[in-house]
Amino acid sequence: MTTDFSAATSSQMVPVDSIDCSPGPYCMSFGYDLNPLILSIESVGLLNSPILLASENSHRMVIIAGYRRIQALKRLRLHSFPCRVFPASALDPLHCLLINLYENLSTRKLNDVEKAMVLARMGNLMPEKTIIEQYLPVLDLVPRRDIFLLYKNIAGELGETGKRALAEGRLSLQAAKMLLDLDKTARDEILRFFSNLMLNMNQQRHLIDFIMDISIIENRSVPNLLVDPSIREMETDVRMNAPQKAKAVMKWFRKRRLPSVVEAERGFKKSVSELRLPDGVRIVAPPFFEGPDYRMEISFRDGRQLAKVLKDLSTIKKLVDIGNPQEKER
């Protein structure tokens, strides 16, 4: 599919009042910072004119490409600026969307929310099979139907708070996928809860699992669980910064969800500390004590030091007692 740009007028001054400045049907900008663009326009002027489509039903033109540029120009209080204008009959909606897509891809990478916006709009204009096979690779996505449906759901169901967190990198794509499997009430409450913490990708995934498991086990709604006094106290504790709050919250939920494992870990650490291991030696239990194998790590500078460490270890008789403390009690 090609576009005949000769159908558009050459760049002409267009009053801002004659443009529909809403995002419109072709916009794919989300979670952006206008300030660098404003600085660029102030410094060297408008380098690339917005592309507009004349409207048959309104005196206002529709933005095909250049939504952010127009927002920046409005912020600079410019009342008219150069644009390229296509006649209303020159382009169909798919042409307009693809012009915007490829113009954006020529200058920047789209974030996950913007990719979702593109795919959702394509879903109304072409067959699903075509989107998956031809356009997911264009967006650096694996051409699979589940990927297409995930991004379509991000566009339609994640909500403003979730989209903003995803676009800004505060919410991982995996966490967004997990949240989309929940009902809206639970999803919105977890997103609110996450906004007060600084969680990495793994913490987000584990915390969603913990919250949902505890909600089911204790027969409590997610909103009811997340207003637990202990949780609210951690959320509002001004003595802790965001990473410290995240660590405290993870510890609380883990203990609530896996009390026997937490107790076993406490007993294991106590028994290891009582061994008085040589410097540079640590013993690691299998995650959740679910595997049979423990691991010993030894740090040493040379063979002589290693030989000494091994000799010292051979004198620690209680090494034979290392294991899951709870199994010893059975």
Count: domains in the chain: 2
Helix ranges restricted to H, the chain: 35-44, 67-75, 93-105, 112-122, 128-130, 145-157, 159-167, 173-180, 184-194, 201-217, 222-226, 229-235, 242-257, 259-273, 303-314, 325-329
Mind listing the pLDDT tens digit of every residue in the chain (330 residues)? 555 555 556 678 999 999 999 988 999 999 899 999 999 999 999 999 999 999 877 788 999 999 999 999 999 999 999 999 999 888 999 999 999 999 999 989 999 999 999 999 999 999 999 999 999 999 999 999 999 999 999 999 999 999 999 999 999 999 999 999 999 999 999 999 998 888 999 999 999 999 999 999 989 999 999 988 888 888 888 888 888 889 899 988 888 888 777 677 777 788 888 888 888 888 888 776 777 788 889 999 999 999 998 998 888 888 887 777 666 555
In a domain, 246, yes or no: no
What is the predicted pLDDT for the residue at 114? 97
What is the predicted pLDDT for the residue at 80? 93
Contact 136, 147 (CB under 8 A): yes
Alpha-carbon distance of 153 to 176, in angstroms, equals 10
In a domain, 143, yes or no: no
CATH of the domain at 50: 3.90.1530.10
Domain that holds residue 71: 1-108
Name the β-bridge partners of 284: 295
Domain stop point among 89, 108, 127? 108
Alpha-carbon distance of 112 to 126, in angstroms, equals 21
What is the predicted pLDDT for the residue at 50? 95
pTM of the model as a whole: 0.77
In a domain, 86, yes or no: yes
What is the predicted pLDDT for the residue at 190? 95
What is the predicted pLDDT for the residue at 242? 86
In a domain, 122, yes or no: no
What is the predicted pLDDT for the residue at 104? 93
In a domain, 84, yes or no: yes
In a domain, 261, yes or no: no
